Amino acid sequence: MNLSKDLMAASSTPIVLGVIAEGETYGYEIVKRVEELSGGILTWTDGMMYPLLHRLEKQGYLVARWRLADSGRKRKYYAITDLGKQAILEQRQQWQLINNALNTLWNNPYDFQPA
């Protein structure tokens, strides 16, 4: 199944914020975690993740730190801020609203007949 571009774009912010809320992490790990979460369906172009991370940082949802990984490689780690946690909460309410609306619609036996 292929997800539409618009849906991918809209869902990327809450997903990335959610992954980072699990604990401080870096870009490559986020990509892998998202793939794992979606069973491989949600695959972004990896490079596009970074402008998104920078945008979220600018909005104050994330803080970034350069740190030396165990492998001796320099990595930029991202952590969630209080503002970011708030944003997750808001996003969550919005997505649940849509989810509920769609569920109600599609569970109504009069309106919806699968072909």
Partner 1 sequence: MTSNPPDDHLVLTQNIAEWRRYLLRQSAIQEEDADELESHLRDEIDALIGAGLAADEAFLVATKRLGQIAAISHEFAEVHAGRLWRNLVFSPATSSASLLTVLLLALVAAIAIKAPLLFGVSMASHEWFFAYNISLFCLPMLAAYWVIERQLGQRGWLFVGSCTLFAAIYMNAMPWQPGGDTAVLAMLHLPLLLWFMVGVTYSGNWWRSDAKQMDFIRFSGEYFIYFVLVALGGAVLTAFTIGIFSFIDIDVEWFASQWIIPCGAMGAVVIVGYLVGAKQGAIETMAPVLARIFTPLFTLLLSVFLMVMLVTGKGFNLERDVLLGLNMMLILVLGLVLYSVSSKAPAQGPSLFDYLQLLLVATALCVDLLALLAIGGRILELGLTPNRIAVLGANLLLLTSLAGYAWYYFLFIRARVGFVQLEQWQIKLIPFYVAWAAVVVFLLPLAFRFA
CB atoms within 10 A of CB 62: 23
Q: Is 82 in the site for partner 1 (CB under 8 A)?
A: yes
Q: Is 24 in the site for partner 1 (CB under 8 A)?
A: no
Q: Is 54 in the site for partner 1 (CB under 8 A)?
A: yes
Q: Is 2 left (phi over 0), alpha (psi -120 to 50) or beta?
A: beta
Q: Is 5 in the site for partner 1 (CB under 8 A)?
A: no
Q: How many residues bind partner 1 (CB under 8 A)?
A: 29
Nearer to partner 1, 65 or 92 (CB): 65
CA 88 to chain CA centroid, Å, is: 10
Length of the chain: 115
Nearer to partner 1, 72 or 114 (CB): 72
DSSP state of 91: H
Contact between 19 and 70 (Cβ < 8 Å): no
Nearer to partner 1, 73 or 108 (CB): 73
Which residues sit at the interface with partner 1, rule CB under 8 A? 26-28, 31, 45-48, 50-52, 54-55, 57-60, 62-66, 73-76, 81-83
